[in-house]
Amino acid sequence: MSYSENLQAVENKITNAVGKSNRQRSDVHLVAVTKTVDAPAMEKLYDLGIRHFGENRAEVFTEKVAAFADKTDIVWHFIGSLQTRKVRAILPYINYLHSLDRKSLADEIEKRATEKVACFLQVNISEEETKHGFNAEEAIAFVSTQTYEHIEIVGLMTMAPNTDDAQALHHVFQGLKALQLEIEKLGIANVPCHEVSMGMTNDFEIAVEEGATFIRVGRALVEEN
Ligand SMILES: *Cc1c(COP(=O)(O)O)cnc(C)c1O
């Protein structure tokens, strides 16, 4: 399939999922995860109307930001595990950081940032050993005690387990949505927490049904098969 057909197929699934859950297409931002493709491939997505791009490695992120320096309407998402020592180099170019997964990273961002950085707190809802992030209790404790001036917790992010078990996926996404509402209700300064970043190629339809406002889709957009 071409990129155009890929995008059409993804859009059809989003439309289907928002229909099922009584939501609007405009409630959901499609972030194209382009970590496996080069800048010319990204340009094809851009020409199809994609404006949100997600990358997971600091060096590649900066290269791609540089390659698209003339396209000022791109929204850049950093979605990968971020080493503290790389914060300084990429911070100026990040529009959304989806992977705020530990306090030491928040401390470093606070130290380096000169304006507010929109961050998603990464939550390990399924509590898998291999996954990064706060568990639900730690997330609440973190937002309740933080005093950062430059970190704005715009929402929560999770990565679901790699499974075809739809019920298990619904459960994980419901858990993240419930936690988002709980934290939003606390009304903490710099913690609006309106957004939910969840759903990848295998599970974004379920994530949208369960309230995702940002989905991070890679393979479904860029695989040519
Ligand atoms: C790679 C990646 C994605 C996209 O995964 P696909 O299965 O290719 O859609 C989404 N989020 C994160 C954090 C990723 O690393």
pLDDT number for residue 29? 98
Tens-place pLDDT, residues 11-43: 999 999 999 999 999 999 999 999 999 999 999
CA of 85 to the centre of ligand 1 (A): 23
Q: Whose CA is nearest to atom 6 of ligand 1?
A: 218
Tens-place pLDDT, residues 204-214: 999 999 999 99
Between CA 195 and CA 212 the distance in angstroms is: 8
Question: Domain span at residue 205?
Answer: 3-222
Q: Whose CA is nearest to atom 10 of ligand 1?
A: 216
Contact 177, 136 (CB under 8 A): no
- Which CATH number is 108's domain given? 3.20.20.10
CA of 70 to the centre of ligand 1 (A): 26
Contact 155, 193 (CB under 8 A): yes
CA of 13 to the centre of ligand 1 (A): 17
Q: Which atom of ligand 1 is nearest to the CA of 216?
A: 10
Helices and strands, counts by H and E, the chain: 9, 8
pLDDT number for residue 128? 77
Residue-averaged pLDDT of the chain: 97
The number of folded domains in the chain is 1
Averaged pLDDT, 175-190: 98
pLDDT number for residue 1? 83
